[in-house]
Chain A
Amino acid sequence: MSLNINNLTFKPTNEYHLNDITLNFKPGKMYTILGRTLSGKTTFLKTIAGLLTPDSGSINFEGNDFLSIPVWNRNIAMVYQQFINYPHLNVQENIEFPLKQRKMDPLLIQKEVSQAIKQVGLIGFESRKIQELSGGQQQRVALARSLAKKAKILLLDEPLVNLDYKLREGLREEFKKLFSGEEASQSILIYASTDPLEAMQLNGDIIVIDEGRILQSGSAKEVFENPSSAKVAEITNDPAMNINKGSIENGNLILNQDIKFPLPAHLKHMPSGKYLVGIRATDLHLDEQGFNFDVDISEISGSETFLHLHNDEVKCVATIEEVRTYEVNDRVKINFDLSKIYLFKESGELEHSPYKN
């Protein structure tokens, strides 16, 4: 079973919503489409589902031209950000609805529905009305309906984004278990998200999308360790990877007149010239021998403090692994873990990654 997308383009106005997308999907793992809001994630999923018709390109599923098959015959299930259920039906009726439409054998319907209810942890809720459920439970119903359909392709469009923080945390863990089991081997699973941590946790392939274009696709580990461009490095990290203009001159790595380092051994082979210098917030440390930075804002997240800093035009965020209070314009000394430096060409392409050589 495979879903092959070739040169898919959708340009309803003078901006590309999807720009020449070519991707192949197979069962067996979760694909996470990771991108910011309005990057084209939902448009992409809707095009696969048949809710939007692309301007050009092709979608093939198991060798058939998908674009000539109407929505209702595509055998696709989709879970949306909003919890979409039939408000006048109870939980059981909501889940069995698409199966009844298909005029399936009632005994088989019962079997599929009770299995789906079990999978999403809604046993005991079968006769509840939708309004009597919490947001998390409503989203479970929508998910159960999708699972019961036994669709060959399951599309999940930021299904957790409208849930309470704690519910999101719990349900994400359940999703991961659910989709690493039998489901994954029988269906193609595509999950859209804006959250890098979510994409990492789902631990399948990450497909990075920006302005309708696929910037990189690969295993979660590969995309995290070797982002193909500075843009990818920003999108796939939270806080975004710090990217600043810099250069290599006379054996030094220079960010500005203040921040300069003699090139460490592992970077000695890099040619002189201009670069974009990337470093993650977790690889900047408070250090008395470090460089002066002024605090723009400090944010505490329980166990950590995020310091938003600048030294002239060099801007960065540093994660300090303890709770400290800083005021705006306090001066701190920060050092860079040079073993974790990324170098990108001025145009953005990756030139050096700490994980590759």
Chain B
Amino acid sequence: MAKIILDNIAHTYNPDASDPLFALKKMSLSWDDGGRYALLGPSGCGKTTMLNIMSGLVTPSHGKVLFGDRDVTRVITEERNIAQVFQFPVIYGTMTVYENLAFPLKCRQFPEDQIDKKVKEVSEILNLQDFLNNRAKGLTADQKQLISLGRGLVREDVAAILMDEPLTVIDPDLKFRLRRKLKEINAKYKTTLIYVTHDQNEAMTFADNIIVMDQGEVVQAGSPKELFEKPQTTFVGYFIGSPAMNLYECLASSSNEVSIGSLKLKVQANINNSQSKNLKLGIRSEFITVENSFGDNTIQADVNEVEDFGNYKLITASCDDMKIKAKVKREQDVPSEKVILKFPSEHCCIYENNKLI
């Protein structure tokens, strides 16, 4: 087990082209031993390419892959000590659960007693101990996915378990159980877990560290809280959170004030160059509040719709060209026509050329 380092990695699938298209643009990233990571982004953002570079299924056209001090850039998958769990459970249906779990160790010719000990230990962690003699094909989808995972866990030399959308086939109410299992395993074995998903909820609930990718680039890496409260780019603001962050084109009227049309809002960012073009103000719908009277950073808007989601209400309002979404408690009274909304200055993020100031 070791730190995994991607050193100035880039990848193009057509390196001979004069102007090659990069599926992965040049980047460096390191994955700490024992960390719990999510790789998050929309389809086609390059996350599977990155995963395949780590597992060795793809050799990067540029840069190096290091496991600790060892350069594994050209080392084949079988010799990398990486376990993978895919979207759909990959198991040997005709083998028993026991045989499935023992398989990676048998292949490496471990002694029987050692295999037995390890299989029993891992099956208990995964709550599969009562099914050891059952054929794997008769199990439920989440149990099968646990077997895939267990085959990674029986090997003590595994540097990381890479999971590509592992909960796709799992029922919503079982997803939680499996996520808890993954966290327990991470705590017990200190195995690095890397979880690939397009689903922000899964990424947020699973990982300590989330790497957000877009169009072949890492756009932000950070904790769920950082991604939510201080998205580094407008893409992250849009992609993380439901609904997406409210974003408005604005102009700087001073170093800490912006104007959107005739509306002026105080912000806590320090806008150096008030001439700068392409400024945007972003605010989460969770941070906008309904007020009874005008005050600092308030705005009057027309209520277009109030949706009852049960645990909360979502107000859709508009003011000139501004469309505003505000998430409020279900108990909150919302006037039916005009509403006063407050944009607290500490929650206003300012973006220049789509990057956070």
Contacts and interface: CB of A to CB of B under 8 A. Distances in A.
Contacts of B228: 302-303, 323
Interface string B201-214: 10011100000000
A203 B307 contact: yes
Contact of B224 (A200, A203, A220, A323): A323
B180 A200 contact: no
Contact of A299 (B198, B199, B205, B286): B205
Interface in A229-252: 236-238, 240
A200 B310 contact: yes
Given A164-B198, A299-B205, 8 more contacts: A36-B172, A165-B198, A166-B238, A169-B242, A196-B310, A224-B308, A236-B310, A308-B176
A328 B172 CA distance: 22
Given A302-B240, A303-B284, A328-B187, A201 B307 contact: yes
Contact of B308 (A164, A221, A306): A221
A165 B225 contact: no
Nearest to B181: A297
B310 A197 contact: yes
Nearest to A134: B43
Interface string B33-48: 0000000001100000
Contacts of A224: 308, 310
A280 interface: yes
Contacts of A165: 198-201, 242
7 tightest CB-CB pairs across the interface, nearest first? A302-B228, A299-B205, A323-B225, A300-B224, A303-B286, A37-B171, A165-B199
Interface in B224-266: 224-225, 227-229, 238-244
B62 interface: no
B173 interface: yes
Main secondary structure of the interface of B (DSSP, over half): helix
A316 B193 CA distance: 27
A165 B212 CA distance: 14
B309 interface: yes
Contact of A166 (B42, B171, B179): B42
Contacts of A236: 310
B205 A203 contact: no
Given A36-B173, A135-B43, A301 B205 contact: yes
Main secondary structure of the interface of A (DSSP, over half): mixed
- Residue from B228, B229, B243 whose CB has the most chain A CB atoms within 10 Å: B228
A302 B229 CA distance: 8
Interface string A306-336: 1010000000000100010000100000000
Contacts of B204: 299-302
Contact residues on A (Cβ < 8 Å of other chain), bracket: 35 or more
A297 B186 CA distance: 13
B240 A296 contact: no
Contact of A300 (B172, B198, B225): B225
A165 B244 CA distance: 11
Nearest to B141: A37
Interface in B314-336: none
B338 interface: no
B166 to A, nearest CB: 16
B144 to A, nearest CB: 15
Interface string A167-201: 00100000000000000000000000011110011
Nearest to B169: A37
B311 interface: yes
Given A134-B43, A166-B239, A200-B309, A300 B205 contact: yes
B167 to A, nearest CB: 13
A197 B187 CA distance: 32
Given A169-B242, A200-B308, A194 B172 contact: yes
- Residue from A36, A203, A220, A303 whose CB has the most chain B CB atoms within 10 Å: A303
Interface in A101-147: 134-135
A223 B244 CA distance: 28
Contacts of A299: 179, 204-206
Contact of B171 (A36, A196, A303): A36
28 contacts: A36-B171, A36-B173, A164-B198, A165-B200, A165-B201, A166-B238, A166-B239, A166-B244, A169-B242, A194-B171, A194-B172, A200-B308, A200-B310, A201-B307, A201-B309, A224-B308, A282-B311, A299-B205, A301-B201, A301-B205, A301-B224, A302-B204, A302-B225, A302-B227, A302-B241, A303-B286, A319-B311, A323-B225
